[in-house]
Amino acid sequence: MLTIVAFVVALGLLIAIHEYGHYRVAVACGVKVLRFSVGFGKPLLTWRRKNSPTEFVLCALPLGGYVRMLDEREAPVDPAERHLAFNTQPLRSRAAIVAAGPAANLLLAVFLYALVNWSGVEEPKAILASPAAGSLAERAGLASGDRVLQIAQGDEAPVEMGSFGDLRWRLTQAALSREDMTLWVAQGEGTPVREVRLPLGELDVREVDATLFERMGITAPWSAPVVGRVMQGGAAEAAGLQPDDRVRAVDGRPMSDGQELRATIAGAVGSDGQRQTQQWTVERDGRTVSLTVTPSAEQVEGVWIGRVGAFIGAAPELVTVRYGPIDGVVQGVVRTWEVSWLTLKMMGRMLIGEASVKNLSGPLTIADYAGKSASLGLTSYLLFLALISVSLGVLNLLPLPVLDGGHLMYYLWEGVTGRSVSDAWMERLQRGGVLVLMALMSVALFNDVVRLTG
């Protein structure tokens, strides 16, 4: 139920803001707006403000919306109202009205990011867990407990690193740009600072998913190798493990953090499902205890891994990331621009075959993430809304005839040549745009089904 409610609220809000952008600028340009609709299908709620020509409608299917304006191309217009028709407006006014929808979504994203920046968010510190064996991070010399102080993408100037989430975001940008990243790290206070070059240009980034960070070797913030809640009937309970046990070593190999301990447990089961017994050395109430642990075997996506039936790893160290009134807005603008540019870059790479179409997501994935983000709290949900708002704004600016960007291309043609696109060409382009959009939606929906059922 939470997923459905979060999805409907998100879609309804983002569509309403988008259409309000069109509506507000149309009214400002002197265009008569006949209907403002959020959703399609059967009207659930209809109202009209006093002395307003606009009918406001809320419909049953919140999968879109529209602003219907007075227009001679759609219906006869009273000569006395011809100056109020959309098609009679100067080119700059028509372009502004069309661009206002995507612009409203981008401005909403700035506001949402700024709101999160002002309120502050608790994030893990930029302290690295053990890099995966054979990963870029391991080969570059990064180690468990390294605190990332500064980073620099390519030849850019170094920037201070505040949180692990910020670190992952900048690593994503660098990987998609195929630029190496330089990190300045230290093992705790007062230790020498090391400069480490992470060769992200070597990565194959056709697909942006969890495996990207696994190949980088930077998957999680540092956490102590501590046992959390122990589940009944699991291997941990059978071995005598207790909450707050700190695991010092497994089979004589020291455990530096929770990430390394989880990987060691997962690797206790062979590719044939055969379980291996491990000797754990744990610290409990100031004394050392030796335990024999035999992880259970579980198959995940066709691969056998070990489980012990307990939460592994203490909560990571947190830092409060908060900005002032001006800096919060500035950071909101910066993040909106970065997400927009990254979205366009990924679309361009998919177009030329350098990125997989598996990166496309549809309504099922959006609904899934809406529910997950809402369950994590208001801040996560606001960040989700901001991300989807940016995506909606950028998508609508694409030069497809059925989208706002397509109409802007028509106006660009009109501005350059001095004449509008002919009705015949308009019809051909609209049909082509519908086919392209339907193909993209089909691929996105297919990807959704594969992700959620795979």
Q: What percent of the chain has pLDDT over 70?
A: 94
Instruction: Tell me the pLDDT band of 451, cut-offs 50, 70 and 90.
Output: low
Tracing tokens 């997923």 back to the chain, one arrives at 3
What pLDDT does residue 424 have? Answer: 79
Digit-coded pLDDT (tens) for 46-93: 888 888 888 999 888 777 888 999 988 888 888 888 999 898 999 999
What pLDDT does residue 365 have? Answer: 72
What pLDDT does residue 91 have? Answer: 92
Instruction: Tell me the pLDDT band of 193, cut-offs 50, 70 and 90.
Output: very high
CB distance 151 to 198 below 8 Å: no
Q: Where are the domains of the chain?
A: 94-120+325-454, 136-216, 227-313
Instruction: Tell me the pLDDT band of 375, cut-offs 50, 70 and 90.
Output: confident
Distance between CA atoms of residues 109 and 129, nearest Å: 32
Neighbours of 257 (CB within 10 A): 23
Digit-coded pLDDT (tens) for 130-181: 998 888 999 999 999 999 999 998 888 888 988 998 998 898 888 888 888 9
Instruction: Tell me the pLDDT band of 355, cut-offs 50, 70 and 90.
Output: low
Q: Using alpha carbons only, what angle is made at residue 144 by residues 310 and 265, rounded to the nearest 5 degrees?
A: 30
What pLDDT does residue 429 have? Answer: 76
Task: Identify the H or E element spanning 200.
Answer: none
Mean pLDDT of the residues in the chain: 87
Q: Is residue 439 over pLDDT 80?
A: no
What pLDDT does residue 77 have? Answer: 84
Distance between alpha carbon 99 and the CA centroid of its chain, in Å?
Answer: 24
Distance between CA atoms of residues 68 and 16, nearest Å: 14
Distance between CA atoms of residues 417 and 402, nearest Å: 22
Task: Report the topology of domain 227-313.
Answer: Pdz3 Domain (2.30.42)
Greater pLDDT, 360 or 125: 125
Q: What percent of the chain has pLDDT over 90?
A: 41
The average pLDDT across 110-131 equals 92
Residue in 293, 291, 255 with CA at minimum distance from that of residue 276: 293
Strands 296-300 and 303-307: antiparallel
Instruction: Tell me the pLDDT band of 254, cut-offs 50, 70 and 90.
Output: very high
CB distance 389 to 14 below 8 Å: yes
What pLDDT does residue 346 have? Answer: 79
What pLDDT does residue 183 have? Answer: 93
Of 32-36, 294-298, 350-354, 397-401, the one with minimum mean pLDDT is 350-354
Greater pLDDT, 341 or 352: 341
CB distance 183 to 151 below 8 Å: yes
What pLDDT does residue 155 have? Answer: 82
Token reading at 303: 């691969």
Neighbours of 109 (CB within 10 A): 30
CB distance 131 to 143 below 8 Å: yes
Q: Is residue 261 over pLDDT 80?
A: yes
CB distance 235 to 259 below 8 Å: no
Instruction: Tell me the pLDDT band of 240, cut-offs 50, 70 and 90.
Output: very high
- 136-216 CATH: 2.30.42.10
Distance between CA atoms of residues 400 and 404, nearest Å: 8
The average pLDDT across 108-129 equals 93
Token reading at 106: 């981008």
Q: Is residue 344 over pLDDT 90?
A: no
Supply the residues annotated as catalytic: 19
The average pLDDT across 331-336 equals 94
Q: Is residue 1 over pLDDT 80?
A: no
Strands 227-230 and 181-186: unpaired
Q: Is residue 280 over pLDDT 90?
A: yes
The average pLDDT across 283-302 equals 89
Q: Phi/psi of residue 310, each to 5°?
A: -155, 155
Q: Which DSSP category does 307 fall into?
A: E
